[in-house]
Chains A and B, each alone.
Chain A
């Protein structure tokens, strides 16, 4: 029986297709995501993501507290790159209020954000291989991530939800131990990347499972606004750190890692490459960090961004994280829209999944690196 390429509808009398609920409690949806799949045997005819199970109304909370009080929320939106979100939020407010940030704080921010990007990519690598049925890389990646968390923990006091940024700088200065640990980690991790390539990238089963699977072409960037590693894997060199440099990213030499094909393997290669680029950035930042204060001397007592709309975007580990702020000049925002990358990436699933196998669903969902609280906010 000929069936349309993508459909969610059960046809009466056609007994060979059925629905399968994947989630909200499923080991591979990385949280409370639910995918309604329309299957014919193991082949996917249609997919409909159902989201909102982790909805915590961050945007509503933002409207009911002042700007500083919302700061801890930001690292809870995407708990895997909490530092990037934290600092991004601070930078958004600083930009709106034109607060100058001291040099040293800018360097610390870059180091911490890139360390955070490494932790996020490492967690992705581990869980991705777990999704594909490889257990061992998971523990290797978590081992390396643990070392990073210790480094971040030593300066921020937390492992996941950092709340490290402040308007005008960062909350605490770093010492030489931290900088040395970060630099040492870079040396150590370069060798480890080669090991990961040997263990994972060159594994024939891994290649068979990921090559040509889940192609997200550049067209999806136009249609959906796909961003981050998913977009760069399709060969589009778009990285907000280069294209719209925030903070002091324009001072560092690093490449935008791209790959061809837009499949799961390309996304893997992009993230592996990005980890190396993050190491480059950290090394440059550790080498060039100046002495000085870490918090601006003149931060207004009351945070009141000028009335009107403001937009600020950062490149999180998953892609384009934007904050659209409407202020009316008071202590409390009128509206703070959080534009999160995973929301967009999950929205593409109805066009990416049909035609693949059930096992590919897991590979594809894993490869786009979704974080559920970020989708649901």
Chain B
């Protein structure tokens, strides 16, 4: 266990632990919402710049409040539940997509002494929780009782399961190097960013993470030119909004893990730790956005072939080389 954490201090400022939990949850939800608002704005601006447009300019300074206006619109929309859906699954899917996020966020060490939870296996827990996303997507696709939604869900499950393997294989060398499964310890152990010694693992991780979050060019579960909107075809209003929130929060989580594992986490000169952390995270997210607005979409079978014949063997080789080098 590592030393003083903000959580402990944070919890001790409250007498009643329930109030502390409520406050922490509130903080997480607030972060999720504000993060999504700002990321959607960023996405629009990045895409606009790439496409020789301006993007949102009207609402608020630099159009910053445009997303807020959209959220207000989404919240104000009627929640339509189509007649033919399987109601329990249909209704629970957005919650399933959203619920693990707060738990996941609380595992991320933002600064050297700013961690909500830290124990020995945060990395495992985090990867396990990210897997829940698949269940939510499949529940949405299956419960929608719509062929397009089901196709999207089937694609999502196949894709996420395939890409989890290279993702894990890319993480393992770092674990072997630091002999720790705690994100805080891994990040602390980096006197230099691990990307310098594990560039291949980083690339594999980042590609797999893009696929895990269903971002273009791996956005086949919601490929709108093929499947209308994929698994969330039948969702409207804020139910759709929740899937959207989940997508953007997932981006933060995978990029934060990349930052902690490969980019030295909060470490950097001059600026405070958490600033460095967020600079790195949002830098990676910006790269993901550039991907999205640059590449066409892969076809489903090509996506699977890529994972199983290129990424997995490469990651395995990388892992073996790491083991051999560490043992020498």
Residues in A lying within 8 Å of B, measured CB to CB: 18, 20, 26-28, 42, 129-136, 139-140, 143, 203, 205-206, 208-209, 357-362
Given A131-B225, A136-B293, A203-B295, also A357-B52 (CB < 8 A): no
- Asked if B151 and A27 sit within 8 Å, CB to CB, the answer is no
With a cutoff of 8 Å between Cβ atoms, the chain B residues found around residue A27 in the complex are: 224-225, 228
Q: Which residues of B contact A362 (CB under 8 A)?
A: 225-226
> Are A135 and B298 in contact, with the CB atoms below 8 A?
no
Are A133 and B47 closer than 8 Å at their CB atoms? no
Using a CB-CB cutoff of 8 Å, which residues 283-309 of chain B contact chain A?
A: 292-302
Complex CA–CA separation, A139 to B228 (angstroms):
20
- Chain B residues with CB below 8 A from A28, complex form: 225-226
Interface pair B298/A208, CB less than 8 Å apart: yes
Q: Residues of B with Cβ closer than 8 Å to A?
A: 47, 50-53, 147-148, 151, 155, 216-217, 219-220, 223-226, 228, 292-302
On chain A, the residues within 8 Å of B300 by CB distance are 42, 357-359
Contact A132 B297 (CB under 8 A): yes
Centre residue among A129, A357, A358 by max chain B CB count within 10 A: A358
DSSP class of A's interface residues: helix, strand, loop or mixed?
helix
Q: Are B47 and A135 in contact (CB under 8 A)?
A: yes
Contact indicator B226/A209 (Cβ below 8 Å): no
Residue of chain B at shortest CB distance from A41: B154
* In contact, A358 and B220 (Cβ under 8 angstroms): no
| Best-surrounded residue of A205, A208, A209 (most CB of chain B within 10 A) | A205
Q: Are B147 and A132 in contact (CB under 8 A)?
A: no
If A139-B52, A140-B52 touch, does A208 touch B228 (CB 8 Å cutoff)?
Answer: no
Q: Are the C-beta atoms of B216 and A133 separated by less than 8 Å?
A: yes
In the assembled complex, the Cα of A134 lies from the Cα of B300 at a distance in Å of: 16
Q: A132-B225, A139-B51, A208-B302 are in contact. List 19 more A-B contacts (CB 8 A).
A: A18-B147, A28-B226, A130-B225, A133-B217, A133-B219, A133-B223, A133-B225, A134-B297, A135-B292, A135-B293, A203-B295, A203-B296, A205-B295, A205-B296, A206-B296, A209-B298, A357-B300, A357-B301, A358-B151
Q: Are B296 and A357 in contact (CB under 8 A)?
A: no
Question: What's the least CB distance linking A35 to chain B, in Å?
Answer: 12
Cβ contacts under 8 Å, B298 to chain A: 205, 208-209
Q: When chains A and B are docked, how far (Å) is the Cα of A41 from the Cα of B65?
A: 43
Closest chain B CB from A43 CB (angstroms) = 9
Chain A to chain B: the 8 pairs with minimum beta-carbon distance, closest first:
A133-B297, A134-B296, A132-B296, A139-B51, A28-B225, A359-B299, A131-B225, A133-B296
A358–B148 Cα distance when bound, in Å, is 11
- What are some 8 contacts across the A-B interface (CB < 8 A)? A27-B225, A42-B300, A133-B223, A134-B295, A134-B296, A358-B151, A359-B297, A362-B225
**B236 → chain A, closest Cβ, in Å?**
16
What chain B residues lie within 8 Å of A18 (beta carbons)?
A: 147
A26 to chain B: which residues have CB within 8 Å?
228
- The complex places the Cα of A20 from the Cα of B227 at a distance, in Å, of 11
**Chain A residues within 8 Å of B225, by CB:** 27-28, 130-133, 362
Complex Cα distance, B293 from A131, in Å, reads 14
Give min CB distance, A10 to chain B, whole Å.
Answer: 14
Q: Which residues of B contact A135 (CB under 8 A)?
A: 47, 51, 292-293
Of the candidates B53, B301, B302, which one forms a contact with A139 in the assembled complex, judged by CB atoms under 8 Å apart? B53
- Contact status B51-A136, CB under 8 Å: yes
Contacts of A205 in B (CB 8 A): 217, 295-298
Instruction: Please determine whether A20 and B147 come into contact, CB atoms closer than 8 angstroms.
Output: yes
Write out the residue numbers on chain B whose beta carbons fall within 8 Å of the beta carbon of A134.
294-297
Query: Which chain A residue shows the least CB distance to B48?
Result: A139
Among B147, B217, B299, the most chain A Cβ lie within 10 Å of the Cβ of B299
User: A129 and B296 in contact (CB under 8 A), knowing A136-B50, A139-B51, A139-B52?
Assistant: yes
> With A18-B147, A27-B224 known to touch, is A208 a contact of B51 (CB < 8 Å)?
no
